[in-house]
Chains A and B, each alone.
Chain A
Amino acid sequence: MVEKSFGRPLKRKEDPALLRGEGRFVDDIHLAGMLHAAFVRSPHAHARIVRVDKRAALAVPGVHAVFVFADLPESVRRQTLPLLMPHPAIKQPFMPYALAKDEVCYAGEPVACVVADSRYLAEDAAQLVEVDYEPLPAVGDCRAAFDKDASPVHAGSESNVAARFPVKVGDTDRAFSGAAHVFREKIYQHRGGAFFIECRGAVASHEAPTGSFTLYAASQGSHRLKRCMLELFDLGDNQVRVITPDVGGGFGPKASFYPEYVDIAAAAMALNRPVKWIEDRRENFLATHQERDQYWDMEIAVDSDAKILGVRGQLIHETGAYVPMGIVLPWITATTVPGPYVIPNYKLDVVSVFTNKIQTTPVRGAGRPEAVVTMERLMDRVARELKLDRAEVRRRNFIRPEQMPYQVGIIFRDGRPVTYDSGDYPACQAAALEASDYEGFKLRQADARAQGRYLGIGVSNTVEATGLGPYESATVRISTNGRIVVYTGATPQGQSHQTTLAQIAADQFGVDIKDVAVVTGDTATVALGIGTFAARTAVNAGSSVHIAATEVAAKAKQIAAGMMECLEDDLELAEGTVRLKSAPDVGKSLREIAVKSIGMLGFSMAGGFPPGLEHTAHFTPEQSVYANGTHVAEVEVDIETGAVSFLRYTAAHDCGRVINPMVVDGQVVGGVAHGVGNALYERMVYDENAQPVSINFGEYLLPLATDVPHVDLVHLETPSPLNPLGLKGAGEGGTIGSIAAIVSAVENALAPFGVTLAEAPVSPQRIVELLGEHALGRTR
């Protein structure tokens, strides 16, 4: 009897090939006749392009072409890259062209595409392309850009506001006017980029006879890329195929549609040769989307028992030079603020502001980490002012499990009211506090202080929307040799879909996961798809696979019943065979059933079944499902240097029922590392001309194995009622709660000195600055 796979920590099918160096990443693709592209990118954050002279570049032996805007096909020239999430609040929907037309709006914007026999030669030639720029004033800071006297980020525009919208529930004016206590916090947050180890890249291969082409791209959603390509090149559905091979990390920015894909496709078309472009790390710093600055000006009103009456304020959010994801990122941030707390009155005025920098789009957490930092700073402030324990203040304000489903009162970016479907927030915090020995911390802290050491503990609670719609596709097909294949639009970059989706399908047929092949991210295999980001795949693809597999299993039994002339109820599907419950050695194999299902030439198909042993499902969630977590960070701060080290880290998380606990744990621990980076290390530095200064890994600091804590995990499982398997997403939870917990812990360590923190990241230098004289320590 084959054991059920769902819920077990099965080892991954992806591993053996990857461990032997047999992964197939986009730069591993070699096509006959393939050429290589390099880009000429604007060195200016803002400039007019006066003239481009390609002659010297074209003279380099081995160079095949140099493309500028004017060389692109007409359909590409007449439109900018599509804004895929439009919204009426976006007043200035500036989007880039595939190559800069006459204005560049961020340093790194592509101006020309050089195609040569090798990347080496393409870079040689790119250096020789002469571009005359007329530099224009560049705006680097989003607060300065918001100022009405600011220079325009886009020449000729009236303001630098991309969009402005309120998110609100209740009546904050009334709530604040009667409040026992009102506290204000100005919080600055800077998040960084995804910095996956595999840079972006794509190969475009054009077939002149059919006028169609294939794009291999390291993406997070093949279908979205295909849609954009169809629009830009005005091609038919049959003329574009997008395949995403193995991807070395995505974390959000690989979901975007980038100009380089268009440029190499145009080049492949013009030259009738495949063209490959692999982003190098410098380009990655310049031209891959990232997150950056948010300035929050917030107030919280509480009664004398520390119960929240209202939260209000303003968020200035930096969108960079364009708005490829509309207002998705600031919207998610704004709607995540209330978290697990009862906040009857909430109002946030959100302004998304242009700057002359690479655009900001979701990076792991997608604005939720910042919302949690803000809310948890406010909670810590309340605790400090009212001289209450920080966990107690939170306890007093939790939404209780009996209040589920809970209407927060605001609208999420999926267009639906934010309704928490399930979750036990008090239990989650309690479990985390217990596991981290929060109670015992006071003694640890006191003992340490007696030795001149400064320890701190911080707690954060998160509620995160996961399982974002609109759907994901899954086709489950059993072919005539009995082999099971799952095709899906989900497009993984390390999330183990080949294993987890196989686990779901395998259980319907009573087989081992090795007997279920999972094919992801190929637009030729399944017509519709969305992709893998936003912690959505378990819910969407998982549910679709479950539904499709269930349907196929049911059909198999129906067909078998006909073949065996018995009732369906007499049959069970186990070990890849449909067999009589009463006589398990009597049955039909999936192979036999599949052969039957496709009919035989010349014979009518009896029973009226549609042919084939397959089913396609697009599970369409009603709304997002809400996972939750509590993080507890325990740190030591060396007050003389400002260095922060971890003593302990606990993450309690609830992502509903879990397909593969090993995979979920990996996602949470991996997510915490991103949070450590954003709390303590990562900062994109620009100069006063909006020129990126941080363009290498020596200066932009990612956490190393010696920088991350060992994460102790606590598992809770509150199934979601909103999908057949009770799933919630797990990919971002580790990041969403970690920054707030770490900042809180550092502040707690510095409490004896009266230092408070309302910013992230926090560097040792900053800690020393805030400590003033106290940082002299023993040298005082």
Chain B
Amino acid sequence: MADTRTITVTVNGKAHRREVETRMTLADFLRHELELTGTHVGCEHGVCGACTVLIGGASARACLMLAVQCDGESLTTVEGLSAAEQLNPLQQAFHDNHGLQCGFCTPGMLITLTEFLRDYPAPTETEVREVLSGNLCRCTGYQPIVAAALDAAKRIREGA
């Protein structure tokens, strides 16, 4: 008999109540229970950062969390970064700077940078590279992502 719990998790402002097996990771819960497939799974051991989400506004690796640990929590995933059909300033900066190629690492990058730019609105390039060191990318060589982050920081400071 599988060990299950009933949990209520708020994701992108919407509450979801589900009964889940306690061993189900948060990443799998988001992707397969809630069908929010924007959060990606790349390694399941906490290194690649593709699964990064915000839990109570703090970035965390969803592959290293159990869904049941998020009972009562408020999460933000990539799907919650902007209104439908829109791109927020950070996303727009990625678009303008060719900050993605295959797009698989992108949601994690966006979430990491959302937290970072909120807390550090005027970062240096070194600081951007350091905060991105928890997110792997194999397509871009990081350079355009860094450019997008600095560009987004500027736009947000200027009230985009």
Are these two chains actual partners, yes or no?
Answer: yes
Chain A interfacial positions (CB closer than 8 Å to B): 11-12, 14-16, 18-23, 25, 27-28, 30, 120, 194-199, 246-249, 251, 280-281, 493-496, 662-663, 665-666, 669-674, 696-698, 702, 704-706, 708, 710-711, 734
Q: Of A194, A280, A496, A706, which is within 8 A of B101 by CB? A: A496
What is the bound-complex CA distance between A12 and B139, given in angstroms? 15
Contact indicator B143/A197 (Cβ below 8 Å):
no
Using Cβ atoms and an 8 Å threshold, which residues of chain A touch B139? 249, 494, 666, 670
Using known A-B contacts A16-B87, A666-B101, determine if residue A27 contacts B41 with beta carbons closer than 8 Å: yes
Contact indicator B138/A704 (Cβ below 8 Å):
no
Using known A-B contacts A11-B95, A12-B95, determine if residue A22 contacts B132 with beta carbons closer than 8 Å: no
What is the bound-complex CA distance between A22 and B133, given in angstroms? 25
What is the bound-complex CA distance between A725 and B130, given in angstroms? 42
Using known A-B contacts A493-B102, A669-B143, determine if residue A25 contacts B40 with beta carbons closer than 8 Å: yes
Of chain B, the residue at the smallest CB distance from A194 is B138
Of chain B, the residue at the smallest CB distance from A702 is B136
Using Cβ atoms and an 8 Å threshold, which residues of chain B touch A674? 138
Most central of B45, B91, B138 by chain A CB within 10 Å: B138
The stretch of B31-39, B54-62, B66-74, B114-122 that contacts the partner chain: B31-39
B75 at the A interface (CB under 8 A) = no
Contact indicator A23/B23 (Cβ below 8 Å):
no
Using known A-B contacts A20-B82, A25-B40, A697-B48, determine if residue A704 contacts B87 with beta carbons closer than 8 Å: no
What is the bound-complex CA distance between A496 and B31, given in angstroms? 25
What are some 25 contacts across the A-B interface (CB < 8 A)?
A15-B94, A16-B95, A18-B103, A19-B87, A19-B95, A20-B91, A21-B107, A23-B37, A23-B38, A25-B40, A27-B31, A28-B31, A120-B23, A196-B102, A196-B104, A197-B40, A197-B48, A197-B138, A248-B42, A663-B98, A670-B138, A696-B43, A706-B132, A708-B141, A708-B142
Give min CB distance, A742 to chain B, whole Å.
14
Contact indicator B142/A705 (Cβ below 8 Å):
yes
Give min CB distance, B35 to chain A, whole Å.
7
B106 at the A interface (CB under 8 A) = yes
Extra inter-chain contacts (8) besides given A19-B110, A20-B78, CB under 8 Å: A21-B107, A22-B38, A23-B37, A281-B45, A666-B101, A666-B140, A697-B48, A705-B129
What is the bound-complex CA distance between A251 and B77, given in angstroms? 28
Give min CB distance, B59 to chain A, whole Å.
15
Using Cβ atoms and an 8 Å threshold, which residues of chain A touch B79? 20-22
Give min CB distance, A116 to chain B, whole Å.
13
B19 at the A interface (CB under 8 A) = no
B65 at the A interface (CB under 8 A) = no
Using known A-B contacts A18-B103, A249-B138, A697-B48, determine if residue A666 contacts B133 with beta carbons closer than 8 Å: no
What is the bound-complex CA distance between A25 and B130, given in angstroms? 28
Of chain A, the residue at the smallest CB distance from B23 is A120
Contact indicator B103/A248 (Cβ below 8 Å):
yes
Using Cβ atoms and an 8 Å threshold, which residues of chain B touch A11? 95-96, 98
Contact indicator A696/B141 (Cβ below 8 Å):
no
B144 at the A interface (CB under 8 A) = yes
What is the bound-complex CA distance between A510 and B128, given in angstroms? 41
Using Cβ atoms and an 8 Å threshold, which residues of chain A touch B81? 20
Most central of A14, A15, A16, A196 by chain B CB within 10 Å: A15
Q: Of B44, B91, B100, B104, which is within 8 A of A281 by CB? A: B44
Give min CB distance, B87 to chain A, whole Å.
6
Give min CB distance, B73 to chain A, whole Å.
19
Contact indicator A19/B142 (Cβ below 8 Å):
no
B146 at the A interface (CB under 8 A) = yes
Contact indicator B143/A198 (Cβ below 8 Å):
no
B26 at the A interface (CB under 8 A) = no
Of chain B, the residue at the smallest CB distance from A278 is B41
Of chain A, the residue at the smallest CB distance from B142 is A705
What is the bound-complex CA distance between A196 and B136, given in angstroms? 10
Using known A-B contacts A25-B104, A670-B139, determine if residue A19 contacts B133 with beta carbons closer than 8 Å: no
What is the bound-complex CA distance between A533 and B103, given in angstroms? 18
Give min CB distance, B92 to chain A, whole Å.
8
Using Cβ atoms and an 8 Å threshold, which residues of chain B touch A281? 42-45
Contact indicator A21/B78 (Cβ below 8 Å):
yes
Give min CB distance, A708 to chain B, whole Å.
6
Contact indicator B146/A247 (Cβ below 8 Å):
no
Contact indicator A670/B96 (Cβ below 8 Å):
no
Contact indicator A23/B104 (Cβ below 8 Å):
yes
Chain B interface mostly: loop
Interface size on B, residues (CB 8 A): 56
Using Cβ atoms and an 8 Å threshold, which residues of chain A touch B104? 23, 25, 196-198, 248-249
Using known A-B contacts A496-B101, A697-B47, determine if residue A120 contacts B24 with beta carbons closer than 8 Å: yes
What is the bound-complex CA distance between A452 and B110, given in angstroms? 41
Contact indicator A196/B103 (Cβ below 8 Å):
no
Q: Of B35, B101, B132, which is within 8 A of A705 by CB? A: B132
What is the bound-complex CA distance between A14 and B139, given in angstroms? 15
Of chain B, the residue at the smallest CB distance from A495 is B101
Contact indicator B98/A662 (Cβ below 8 Å):
yes
Using Cβ atoms and an 8 Å threshold, which residues of chain A touch B144? 666, 669
Using Cβ atoms and an 8 Å threshold, which residues of chain A touch B128? 705
Of chain B, the residue at the smallest CB distance from A195 is B138
Of chain B, the residue at the smallest CB distance from A698 is B47
Using Cβ atoms and an 8 Å threshold, which residues of chain B touch A246? 102-103
Q: Of A14, A671, A673, A710, which is within 8 A of B103 by CB? A: A14
Of chain B, the residue at the smallest CB distance from A666 is B98
Contact indicator A249/B102 (Cβ below 8 Å):
yes
Give min CB distance, A572 to chain B, whole Å.
33
Contact indicator A197/B50 (Cβ below 8 Å):
yes
B9 at the A interface (CB under 8 A) = no
Give min CB distance, B25 to chain A, whole Å.
10
Of chain B, the residue at the smallest CB distance from A676 is B141
What is the bound-complex CA distance between A698 and B48, given in angstroms? 10
Of chain B, the residue at the smallest CB distance from A29 is B37
Using Cβ atoms and an 8 Å threshold, which residues of chain A touch B138? 194-197, 249, 251, 670, 673-674, 702
What is the bound-complex CA distance between A662 and B146, given in angstroms? 15
Q: Of B35, B36, B105, which is within 8 A of A197 by CB? A: B105
Contact indicator B136/A704 (Cβ below 8 Å):
yes
Contact indicator B141/A18 (Cβ below 8 Å):
no
Using Cβ atoms and an 8 Å threshold, which residues of chain A touch B130? 705-706
Of chain B, the residue at the smallest CB distance from A713 is B143
Give min CB distance, A710 to chain B, whole Å.
6
Give min CB distance, A15 to chain B, whole Å.
5
What is the bound-complex CA distance between A15 and B137, given in angstroms? 16
Give min CB distance, B28 to chain A, whole Å.
8
Using Cβ atoms and an 8 Å threshold, which residues of chain A touch B140? 666, 669-670, 673
Using known A-B contacts A16-B95, A21-B37, A705-B146, determine if residue A734 contacts B44 with beta carbons closer than 8 Å: no
Using Cβ atoms and an 8 Å threshold, which residues of chain B touch A493? 102
Contact indicator A120/B21 (Cβ below 8 Å):
yes
Of chain B, the residue at the smallest CB distance from A704 is B133
Give min CB distance, A114 to chain B, whole Å.
17
Using Cβ atoms and an 8 Å threshold, which residues of chain A touch B150? none
Using Cβ atoms and an 8 Å threshold, which residues of chain A touch B41? 27
Of chain B, the residue at the smallest CB distance from A24 is B37
What is the bound-complex CA distance between A672 and B32, given in angstroms? 36
B145 at the A interface (CB under 8 A) = yes
Give min CB distance, B138 to chain A, whole Å.
5
What is the bound-complex CA distance between A388 and B136, given in angstroms? 41
Contact indicator A280/B44 (Cβ below 8 Å):
yes
Give min CB distance, B134 to chain A, whole Å.
8
